[in-house]
């Protein structure tokens, strides 16, 4: 045998294997498509039956409500009750640029009060008849009181009780 015939024979065998593989793959894909189509058809039938049941239920409810009589009842309206929103808890600190305790309180304590819901305003003054710092405090319940010296929890509580 010569080389040309051998190559042609090998090519025919490869072609037959490739054709067989393609036929098997086609059959496998076709089977899967048929199974998928059967599932889709079944779901479509179930959906149609469910839709028909829902439409029948809606129609029955509509007929039932249309046969019922309704009595109109008048209600007296009550005025809308208003409420006053809670006041903003406010600390107004009176201080000066030259006040060391003021700068220390602003650096260490101001953020702590703000983190628990207080609004803190710092008023820088040039002169004052009172010693710095001093604080004007308006509590959430609207009570107003003052604290002299650096504001601490103890001074706050004592000044609030005194009011």
Q: Going residue by residue through the chain, which has 163 residues, state the pLDDT in tens, using 9 for 90 and above.
A: 688 888 888 888 888 888 888 899 999 999 999 999 999 999 999 999 999 999 999 998 888 877 776 676 777 777 777 766 667 899 999 999 899 999 999 999 999 999 998 999 999 998 888 889 999 999 888 889 999 999 999 999 999 888 7
Specify whether 2 is located in the same domain as 43.
yes
Tally of domains in the chain: 2
State the residue range of the domain holding 28.
Answer: 1-75
Preceding omega of 133 cis (within 30 degrees of 0): yes
Whether 81 maps to a domain, the answer reads: no
Q: What is the pTM of this model?
A: 0.48
């Amino acid at each position: 045998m010569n080389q040309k015939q051998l190559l042609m024979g090998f090519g025919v065998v490869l072609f037959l294997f490739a054709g067989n593989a393609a036929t098997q793959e086609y059959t496998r894909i076709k089977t899967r498509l048929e199974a998928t189509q059967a599932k889709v058809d079944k779901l479509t039938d179930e959906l149609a039956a469910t839709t028909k049941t829902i439409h029948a239920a809606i129609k029955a409810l509509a007929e039932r409500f249309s046969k019922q009589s309704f009595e109109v009842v008048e209600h007296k309206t009550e005025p809308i009750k208003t409420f006053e929103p809670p006041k903003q808890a406010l600390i107004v600190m009176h201080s000066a640029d030259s006040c060391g305790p003021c700068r220390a309180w602003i650096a260490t304590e101001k953020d702590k009060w703000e983190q628990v819901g207080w609004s803190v305003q710092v008023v820088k003054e040039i002169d004052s008849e009172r010693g710095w710092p001093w604080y004007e405090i308006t509590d959430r319940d609207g009570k107003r009181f003052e604290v002299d010296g650096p504001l601490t929890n103890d001074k706050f509580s004592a000044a609030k009780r005194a009011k």
